[in-house]
Amino acid sequence: MPLSHRQKVVLSTLIVLLVVVLMLTLAEGTVRVRQWMKYGHFSHLDDIYAVDQETGLRVPRSGASTGTIHINSLGFRGPPVSQLKTAGQLRLAFLGASTTFCAEVSSDELTWPHLVSETINNNASGVTVDYVNGAVPGYTVQSSLMNLRERITPLEPDVIIIYHATNDLSRETRSLAEKQGIYRAGTADEMSWLAEHSLLWFLVEKNLRLRSLREKTADMEHRLEFSPSQLGSQFEADLQELVTEAKKVSSMVALVTFSHRIRAGQTPEQQLEAAGSALYYMPFMSPPALIDSFARYNEIITEVARETGVLLIDGEELIPGDGEHFNDTVHFKDAGSRAMARRVSEALLRLPALQELLAAKRSNS
């Protein structure tokens, strides 16, 4: 029996819907496979973290794995670490956020903390060297202070390396933007229901937002009004407290100035490209304002190192500001992680205090 016109319309509509659903399913699958091939996991990276009920800290889940990221039994990214340390053993600890956790590199062995530990170990004849990557994405200096007290101190690190800036800068400038009425708290972190459940839609939503933010960089009405010289008072106080606490735990503490892809010598187009992820979280900023603000935070890092008498590891621009070394504004690719490891390990190895510490470890082994 021939179909009526209405039945044909309904059937055609159902076929179109089915084709659309199949195409979206195929696209979702393709995006997830691509993510697995690049990062070793299918879903959002947040799945490997949990909130510690005792400390309230967001920490990696013990034994979690994504393929390229492995969390050891103590809840740190990297190889197994014993809670007990021998007298002849040198232990490094790294405090920071996502730029130290290094989710963007292709393996645990290519995080810059691992590469630094490996280099020190290769130059520490007769001494066993291990490390704790105490960094967690999203951490500020205040988070790292609690992390040091609750999770790092019991492991008795001999050397503590601290690398912080971007999350504290984001928090401070967001607060200023809220007061000026050009930003609403949580805007950059909001996701739709679809984005929470679909990686494809999450990427679409994020890219649309980035495009919108780029357009807003030309809109002076949405720019934050501030002087970079006025930034960083809370960051400085928090960093002072963290360094003071770290010095009670370890015989050596190092502060590392912060590297970023966006540079003063780039063209406006290059700066806008390099500023992409920073503008996602600080949409009220401009590329020049970001450059000046990172410079101010590096001045504070330098000042705190001088005032507290700890090692300053500078040379943040030794890492080229390009797409080969940076995944976005601040996170390293493999090449950037290697360059970061070189500047940190070379500075540590030049330090007489480290050589004295290694000598003491040898005599105790």
Model pLDDT for residues 270-321, shown as the tens digit of each residue: 999 999 899 988 989 999 999 999 999 999 999 999 999 999 999 999 999 9
Q: pLDDT digits over 65-82, tens only?
A: 988 999 999 999 999 999
Q: In this predicted structure, what is the pLDDT of residue 320?
A: 97
Q: Is the pLDDT of residue 42 over 50?
A: no
**Arithmetic mean of pLDDT, 86-105:** 96
Q: In this predicted structure, what is the pLDDT of residue 4?
A: 74
Residue 182 tokens read as: 């050009």
**Arithmetic mean of pLDDT, 315-339:** 97
Q: pLDDT digits over 105-126, tens only?
A: 999 999 999 999 999 999 999 8
Buried b or exposed e, range 158-185, using 16+ CB within 10 angstroms: bbbbbbbbbbbbbbbbbebbeeeebbee
**Of all residues in the chain, what percent carry a pLDDT higher than 70?**
80
| All structural domains of the chain with their residue ranges | 62-364
Q: In this predicted structure, what is the pLDDT of residue 214?
A: 53
* 3-state DSSP percent of the chain in helix, strand and coil, to 5: 55, 10, 35
Amino acid at site 28: E
Confidence of residue 190 (pLDDT cuts 50, 70, 90): low
Pair 364, 90: CB distance under 8 Å: no
Q: What is the CATH number of domain 62-364?
A: 3.40.50.1110
Confidence of residue 43 (pLDDT cuts 50, 70, 90): very low
Q: pLDDT digits over 206-248, tens only?
A: 555 555 555 554 454 568 999 999 999 999 999 999 999 999 9
Q: Which of 124-133, 186-195, 222-231 has the lowest mean pLDDT?
A: 186-195
Q: In whole numbers, what is the pLDDT of the chain averaged over residues?
A: 86
Q: Which one is predicted more confidently, 44 or 302?
A: 302
Degrees, nearest 5: CA angle 78-238-271: 70
**Arithmetic mean of pLDDT, 153-159:** 97
Torsion sign over Cα 96, 97, 101, 104: negative
Q: In this predicted structure, what is the pLDDT of residue 197?
A: 45
Place of tokens 């039994």: 73
**Of all residues in the chain, what percent carry a pLDDT higher than 90?**
68
